[in-house]
Each structure stands twice: as C-alpha cells, then as structure tokens.
Structure 1
Amino acid sequence: MNVQEAQFRNFAPESGRVPCPHDTFSFQQRTAAVAEAAASEAEAVDREARFPRKAIDAARRERLLGAQIPIAFGGEGASLFEVTDMCYALGRACASTGMIFAMHQTKIACLVRHGVGSTWHESFMRRVAAEQLLLASSTTEGQNGGNIRFSTAAVERSGVEISLVRDATVISYGAEADGIVTIARRADDAAGSDQVLLAITRDDYTLEPTLAWETLGMRGTCSAGFKLNFRGSADQIFPVAYERIHAQTMTPVAHLCWSSVWAGIAAAAVDRAQLFVRKAARGAGGNMPPGAAHFTSARMTLTKLRAIIAANLESYAARQRDERALSSVDFQSSINLLKVEASELAVTAVMHAMRACGLSGYRNDTDVSVGRHLRDVLSAPIMINNDRILASMGTTTLMSAVPASLRD
C-alpha cells in the first residue's frame, strides 16, 4: 500500500479503519487543552483584534497542527472526522482560534492528498509535522471579488526558478504564519481559470501590508491585506492542476471545517442560553422565563446544523477515492449548499440564544453575554458570500435530477 492509499484508509470509514479509543481520546484531551487556552484569551483577542497566540502555541505543544499529516511523514494520520471535531471544540472556545485552525487544516488536507509523490511536498509535510508549522491561505486578489477560480497574478518562470507577485486583499493571519498556500495563473499567457497551487515558506516571500483588519467579528483572524512577493523553486507548485484540487479537497474540506467552527460558535451561545434559562427558572420557582421558547429553537437549530455537517462528512468520505464522484454536479452542489445552509443555521441558532437570554445576552458584561458570538457568526454568510455561491449554482442545479427517493 502506498502512502496516499494509507491516508485514504485513515479517512474513509468504508475502508474498515476505525480509530482506536486511545487515539480518539488523545485527540480529545489535547484539543480540550488547546480549547482551554483559547477560551482564556477569547475576550482579549476579540477586544484587541489580535492573533490568538496563546491558543496557537498550545496547538503546537499538543502537536495538533500536523495531526493530519500521514504517519509515514511524521504526523498522526488524523481523519477529517477527527479534525472537524477539533474545529467544533475550538470554535466553541474562541471563534477566531477555531477559524484559524480550520483554514490551516484545509491547506494541510490539500498537501496530504495532492502532495504525495512530489519530493518537495513530501519534505514539506515532514517539516510541518516536525516543526508544527502554521499555514495560511492566499486565494483572494484585488480584482477577483472573492472568486477563487479566477486568478490575476501569474507564475513567472526562469529556468527552475519561479516568482509571483500577488495583490492579496486578504491573507488571514498572514503576518503570523510560517508558510502560505496560494493560487496563481499557471503562466503569464494562461487563462485566469488555468491555475496552479503553490506551497511557500516564510524564507521564500515577503509581505507588504496594504489593508488593515478592523471588523465587526472574527477579529482575531487578523485577515489583513498584503502585497505578496515570492521567489522560489518550480518544485513548490503542486503536481496536480488546481481545478482538481479545488473540487476534490479545497472546497469540501474548507466547507466542512468552517461549518464545524460555526457549529461550535452556535453551541457556545446555546450553552449560555441554557445557563440563563436554568438560573431564571430556579429564581422564579420553576416558572420558565419568557425567552425559554427561543432556547428550544436554538437547540433544535443546533441539532439540525450538526446533522447536516455529519451527513456531508459521511458523503465526502464515501466518495473520497472516486475523483469523478467528487467532481459531479450533485456532490459539488451539495457541498456548496452545506456552506450556505450551515452559515445561515449558525446565525439563526445564535440569534435564538440571544433572544432566550434577553437583555442579559445582549449586554457585554454578563456571564451569558452572546454579543461576541453573534458578531463572529455573522461572518459566516459573508465569508465566500452566500449570494455568490447561490448565483453560481443556478445553472448547474438545473442540470441535476430531483431525487426520486429519500435515500438517493
């Protein structure tokens, strides 16, 4: 069995691989330690719009940044099921920490699936695992309006050397990352959609700040804009066209990990609503407060949110080895609709939680304050805008048959 097949076995439940309780328990324990660190600074990270260094340092100590890397390359071969559980737990503690972790793990997933067989990328995987490197993403450019399937900047070639200059309007935690995974046009004469993916390290590039990050929520992701100047080796280009990486890994893993973070934020808000309702009921001799019905709605919405994430995880796992199935209209529509539906449900759950808590949830100085959670989760429908996704899906969904049964 080669390394790539082994990684697929680590992910796919139909392969017969079941993580032993010790592995799962270890990840849970280590994630809990990181979540504790994240929660301890969540308020300050939000207030000061600063990188959650304490939490990410804890993730390094617990060796979670390289958990997805195959065992053969020094990692632990964590499955996407385990990674999304980590995203959920960290999102519950601190939204910014959870989102940084989710974005990093999406880049790692691309490296793991599409870097095997490339000497440079296999060596890079070993570095990520050994040094617990934090990888950022650069997919948004000044003129593409968030359309990551169109690039303006092109790779320039000079023998085996390459260079790239990119006007990146957003590079989340770019100033803090140890490396960046970025997309670009294959060459200067290539179409905007003819893209490649590159992995670059801090030694290879410089960042010139261009846009600050002063936002309503997700303030700790520090998603500032930069002019990226890179010079390195052609070996750093992934050996697979970005079109395939986008469909098979980048989009599904990003949507699953992001959704898990949003579900974590919603769970944290529901926790606070439950605390409020219980206290209010005890203080009123068992009589429920006026907002109790909103708590029930929040719980129901969270249950639905978790269910659709779980269903899409299973769907992705079932298709993991089938490139045609991953690129099908049905699967791509489903995984994009996951992003849309999960983001809207998360906002709804948090809003219900706030209404359950009433003024106490609206205030910023109570133990049931939901203000930070609401501000953070409102980014969900906007980050890769839901309207853009739905507009782009209009034609493709017309080509997909309406299911004939509940199990189709």
Structure 2
Amino acid sequence: MPPAPQTSTRLDAAHRIGREIAAVHAGDVDKNARFPRESIAALRDEKLLSALVPVELGGMGMGMMELSTICTALGQYCSATAMVFAMHQIQVACLVRHALSSSDLRAYLQSVASEQRLIASVTSEVGVGGDTRSSICAIEQTQDRFVLAKDATTISYGEHAQDLLVTCRRHPAAASGDQVMVLLKQGDFQLERTSSWDTLGMRGTCSPGFKLTSSGHVSQIVPGDYGAMSSQTMVPFSHVLWASLWLGIAIDAVARTGSFVRAQARAKPGVVPPAALRLAEVSNMLQVLRISTHDVADECERLMSSSEGNEAMLAIGFSLKMNNVKIYASEQTVAIIQAALQICGIVGYKNDTKYSLGRHLRDAFSASLMVSNDRIYAKNASMLLVHKDP
C-alpha cells in the first residue's frame, strides 16, 4: 500500500532537509563536534519537532511507523541530526502518552507545537552504573514547589535544548527504583558542565556530563510511575527510533558501495566485477535489518493504538522483543558497514572520497554503547529464566 499523501509529503521534507542541509554540514558537525544547528532549524521550520504531538494540540499526530521512516531518512545524511531528532521525539512521546491528564502539561505540548521547543533527556546519573531505572537524586517538595539536583553523566544536546525531562526518585525517602519524570522548562534549571565530548563518533550530539540544579512547580511532575512509562513508551520509542536511524546510516553505506561497484562494472563492460557478489550479500543483510526494524515499529504502533496495548507492553515477551531489536540493529549496522568497507577498500577508508565510510562506521560503533548491549543481554538472561515462550 502506498503511503498517504500527507505521509509522503512529510517524508519528502525530511529527505530534502537531509540532502540540502544535513548532508552539507555533516562533515563539519563531525569534525568540530558541534551541534547540527542548521538541520535542526530546518526541522523546526517544517514543524517536525511536534511530529508526535496530537493534532488537537497543534501537532502532526504521527504514529510510530511514520516517525521511524523519518528517522531513517535523516540517518542517511547526518546521524547526529537523526539522533537529536529521535531523542527529542522520545521525550515528546513520554508526555503525549502519559501526561495528557494534566492541563498544565497539555498546555506545554501546545507550546512544543507552536514554538517548536527542543527537549533533551536527563536519565543518566553518576553513581548508578548506567542503570536508568535507578536514581540517587530525588524531588524535594515544599507545598506546591520543588527543587531537584542531579549529577548526570551525559545530557545529549543539553546546552542546545529549551527544556529537559529528568528522572529522579519520587521523594527523598523513596527506593532507588521508585522514580518519576519531571519537566524542567527553560529558566527552571542551570547546567554546570563536568566533562568534555571528544568522541570517536556521534560527535554532533554534544553529550558531555552536567550537574543540574533546578526548581519548579509540582504540576511539572509527570503523572504516574516512571517504571511503567519506561516499559510502555521510553524503551519502545528509544529502541525503535534508534534502530531506524542506524538503518539510515547502513542504507547510505550500502548506497555508496553500490555506486562504487557499478563504477567498476562501467570500467569493464560485459564483465561482472568480483565485488558484485559481496554487494549482493551486504544488500541481503540490509534487507533483513530493514524488515526487522519495520516489523517491530509496526507492532508498537498497533499496540499503542489498542485498548489492551499498554498491558501487553508490560509483558516479558514484549520487553525481550524491544531489547532484541536494539541489540540486533546495533550489531548488524556495524556488520553491514564493515562489509561495505571491505568492498570499497581504500576509497572507502579514506575520508576525502565520495565512497568514504569512516564517519558511518565511527557513528555506528556508538550503537552498542547507548545503553550497553551487555547490560541488555544481562536483563534478557534474567527474563529468559522465567519466560518459556521461544
């Protein structure tokens, strides 16, 4: 079935921004580890920062599948742009799916649509060993006001976002896993940088550590328990949108490789280059990655639109599927780009050719480290001890 005209138009806009703006600046963004301001500004102009905001609140009301395709499109041109876009949408998803009962937070989502506000995530914390489902910091509430301080190991594009969504303990006496999520709006918080961001790849996400201090009104606390929010929204959106943009990186790597092999074929008409067989293999790898990513995105969208979906998303089987798509996509993307590099050889290894794959590979290596695959495998191992279905 062809995409709806509106969906096609929005996807076309993402490709245009990617081709005309993101790709033009991607090398400089990477080289100087700077925020991709030009492409994010273009996404703002297209109102794509409110892609997930419901139509009645001024947004586009996109579903998971359409958003996934846009992340894939952006990933083909500049992975830092795609990652910033994806991480912002993950935060918006948490508010759309869990905060609409609050009139103040509904009004905030209207401002996301009207002002195209960029939201960053503050889930990491010094002292918890990378476990985002555990917090040391806590909300300290006095009547209708709160204060919150957090020592975050990383806040992606934190210095460039208008607002933050922060995880913390519900109150100072709460257990480490009894967490809530808090919206901090521009002017509510201060950031003190505690580390640098000079990395192998994903340099344009600008993700150093910060000490956060903040205060606000209790209406900024997102209703409900973060544990359920994580299972039903944060993890599914994170793993699907990350996988989607990694797919975009892999698509561009294979496209460059295909151009290289076709150039070889043109140099010797009538002769199939030896590299064509390797291209067929890497094309097969890409197809499997595409199918697996789209399959999980489609399942998530169906569950999120179902009355029984939230309950199903708390099941062990669903958690395993979400974890597995992240692991597979992160590992397969690297494998595809490495295979493509072997085909292109030195012209793919060099940074100054049209077949260059260095940035693709460096960016892809981050995928297994964004919530460590080893940590996810350990969680899967524990769940598989009680989950009997294959």
Partner amino acid, structure 1, of 2:245: V
State which of 21, 25, 31 in structure 1 corresponds to 2:8: 25
CA contact (8 A) 1:87 1:102 kept: yes
Could you tell me which residue of structure 1 aligns to residue 373 of structure 2?
Answer: 386
Could you tell me which residue of structure 2 aligns to residue 332 of structure 1?
Answer: 319
1:109 aligned counterpart, secondary structure: helix
Could you tell me which residue of structure 2 aligns to residue 64 of structure 1?
Answer: 48
How many Å separate the matches in 2 of 1:334 and 1:41?
Answer: 36
Could you tell me which residue of structure 1 aligns to residue 161 of structure 2?
Answer: 177
Residues 191-240 of structure 1 deviation map (CA, whole Å, 9 limit, x = unaligned): 01000011111111011110110100000000111111110011111111
How many Å separate the matches in 2 of 1:289 and 1:199?
Answer: 56
CA contact (8 A) 2:191 2:210 kept: yes
1:272 aligns with 2:256: yes
Residue correspondence of structure 1 range 362-381 to structure 2 within 5 A: 362-381=349-368
Could you tell me which residue of structure 2 aligns to residue 294 of structure 1?
Answer: 278
Partner amino acid, structure 1, of 2:275: G
Partner amino acid, structure 2, of 1:319: L
1:349 aligns with 2:348: no
1:123 aligns with 2:107: yes
Could you tell me which residue of structure 1 aligns to residue 347 of structure 2?
Answer: 360
Could you tell me which residue of structure 2 aligns to residue 13 of structure 1?
Answer: none
CA contact (8 A) 1:184 1:196 kept: yes
1:20–1:289 CA distance, 2 compared to 1 (3 A): closer
RMSD: 1.4
1:240 aligned counterpart, secondary structure: coil
CA contact (8 A) 1:50 1:219 kept: yes
Partner amino acid, structure 1, of 2:186: R
1:161 aligns with 2:148: no
Partner amino acid, structure 2, of 1:388: R
Partner amino acid, structure 2, of 1:347: V
Residue correspondence of structure 1 range 314-333 to structure 2 within 5 A: 314-320=298-304, 321=306, 322-333=309-320
Shift of 1:103: 0.4
1:141 aligned counterpart, secondary structure: coil
How many Å separate the matches in 1 of 2:8 and 2:289?
Answer: 24
2:152 aligned counterpart, secondary structure: strand
State which of 62, 73, 78 in structure 2 corresponds to 1:94: 78
Could you tell me which residue of structure 2 aligns to residue 311 of structure 1?
Answer: 295
CA contact (8 A) 2:64 2:298 kept: no
1:366–1:182 CA distance, 2 compared to 1 (3 A): same
CA contact (8 A) 2:261 2:273 kept: yes
Residue correspondence of structure 1 range 103-252 to structure 2 within 5 A: 103-252=87-236
Residues 306-352 of structure 1 deviation map (CA, whole Å, 9 limit, x = unaligned): 11111111222232232221000000111111100111111111111
How many Å separate the matches in 1 of 2:263 and 2:137?
Answer: 56
State which of 373, 382, 395 in structure 1 corresponds to 2:382: 395
Shift of 1:243: 0.8
Equivalenced residues, count: 386
Q: For structure 2, list consecutive stretches of 5 or more residues without a partner in the other structure.
A: none
CA contact (8 A) 1:195 1:241 kept: yes
CA contact (8 A) 1:154 1:184 kept: yes
Moved more, 320-329 or 370-379: 320-329
CA contact (8 A) 1:162 1:233 kept: yes
Please give the TM-score of this superposition, normalised by the length of structure 2: 0.96
Moved more, 33-42 or 288-297: 288-297
Moved more, 216-225 or 321-330: 321-330
Partner amino acid, structure 1, of 2:369: I
How many Å separate the matches in 2 of 1:402 and 1:131?
Answer: 47
CA contact (8 A) 2:63 2:301 kept: no
Shift of 1:402: 3.3
How many Å separate the matches in 2 of 1:382 and 1:245?
Answer: 22
CA contact (8 A) 1:293 1:356 kept: no
Partner amino acid, structure 1, of 2:18: A
Q: For structure 1, list consecutive stretches of 5 or more residues without a partner in the other structure.
A: 1-17, 404-408
